[in-house]
Structure 1
Amino acid sequence: MNTLFKSIKRSREIYASYIENYTLEQLNLIPEGLRNNLIWNIGHIIVSQQRLAYLLSENETLLTEEFTNKYVNGTIPDGKTTQEEVDEIKSLLFSTIEQTILDYENGKFENYTETQTRTGFLLTNFEEGMLFNHYHEGVHLGFMMKIKRFI
């Protein structure tokens, strides 16, 4: 798990570089023909990781209900994310994964509700959930690479 967590942290650094290198307007831009933008993808991977780790292990997530509802699967951004929200997202990129690591080390994820993802992965424990999470984050990084070609 140490290697996986290290890789997820590196992934989060890549996501943070988008926040650091694009303007608020660019982060909010929804290219014609696409459904989301750069900042929504970043918020979404945070929500997804929390749901895969905490909700499926019968724990409360580290996120507010408002934040979750804005970035959960199936939502569509309005292109009006504020700088304050972007700053929160950047902070959550790292604080959520750091807390997840601490909680894992302290045995918080012993219980896990088996689930089948829409892409066909069967997740039976926390470790499988985090492996899928890393795959999921890579998929969204690919979406972001596509979006940035329109900026």
Structure 2
Amino acid sequence: MSNFVTDQLEFVRRQAVDYVRNINDSGSEIIPTGLKNNIKWNLGHMYVIHEKFAFQLTGEETKYPANFSKLFDPGTKPSDWNIEPPTLSQLINLLTEQKGRVDSILSNKLKEEINPHYKSSTGLIFTNVEQLLGFLIYHEAMHFATIKNIKSIIDSTN
């Protein structure tokens, strides 16, 4: 079922995935001077937050690969990693699969109330599925802009 929120969410995810497809794995791990994260971290973080908001908070089954919380939760950074991160190709596959799960599982549940309601760290209160997915549009776009900025910095120093 087509809906503005799910269409926009799919749009921003597709833009991000298409943008990183031609970056090599080592390029995705470069952390420009002055920043604390790389392209790979931003993609993994997008996946983790999407799982939380689209599935965990709506009471649906989550699919967190092993160690994703240690690698990509808020506050984590690659300089602290002591385990091998997924490859860029693996992240692209996970992000693509996740987009399909959102559409198939949640597109007909947008107006359903979530219980308990969720209050974000900034005080924003979410009461239904559509509000959670609406937040993810913002979150994905913000991290996509960060990815583009990181790539621009990398390209300008090579």
- Pairwise TM-score range, normalised by the shorter structure: 0.7 to 0.9
Q: How far, CA to CA, are the matches of 2:122 and 2:60 in structure 1?
A: 24
Q: Which residue of the partner structure matches residue 101 of structure 2?
A: 99
Question: 114-123 or 90-99, which moves further after superposition?
Answer: 114-123
Report the structure, 1 or 2, having the larger strand content.
Answer: 2
Match of 2:149 among 116, 122, 146: 146
Q: Which residue of the partner structure matches residue 69 of structure 2?
A: 68
**Deviation for aligned residue 1:85:** 2.3
Is 1:113–1:125's contact at 8 Å kept on the other side of the alignment? no
Q: How far, CA to CA, are the matches of 1:106 and 1:145 in structure 2?
A: 32
Q: Per the alignment, do residues 24 and 105 of structure 1 end up closer, same or farther by CA in structure 2, a change over 3 Å counting?
A: closer
> Which runs of 4 or more aligned residues in structure 1 lie more than 3 Å from their structure 2 counterparts after TM superposition?
78-82, 105-112
Q: How far, CA to CA, are the matches of 1:54 and 1:40 in structure 2?
A: 21
Give per-residue Cα distances to partners, 1:108-128, cap 9 Å, x unaligned: 965443222234422111110
Question: Where in structure 2 are the equivalents of 1:1-150 lying within 5 Å?
Answer: 2-78=3-79, 85-105=87-107, 107=109, 111-150=114-153
Question: Does the residue aligned with 1:124 lie in a helix, a strand or coil?
Answer: strand
State the aligned residue count: 150
Report the structure, 1 or 2, having the larger helix content.
Answer: 1
What is the TM-score when the length of structure 1 is the normalising length? 0.84
Q: Per the alignment, do residues 14 and 105 of structure 1 end up closer, same or farther by CA in structure 2, a change over 3 Å counting?
A: closer
Identity %: 27
List alignment gaps of at least 5 residues for structure 2. none
Question: Does the residue aligned with 1:115 lie in a helix, a strand or coil?
Answer: strand
What is the TM-score when the length of structure 2 is the normalising length? 0.81
Question: 110-119 or 89-98, which moves further after superposition?
Answer: 110-119
Bigger Rg, structure 1 or 2: 2
Paired residue type of 2:103: I
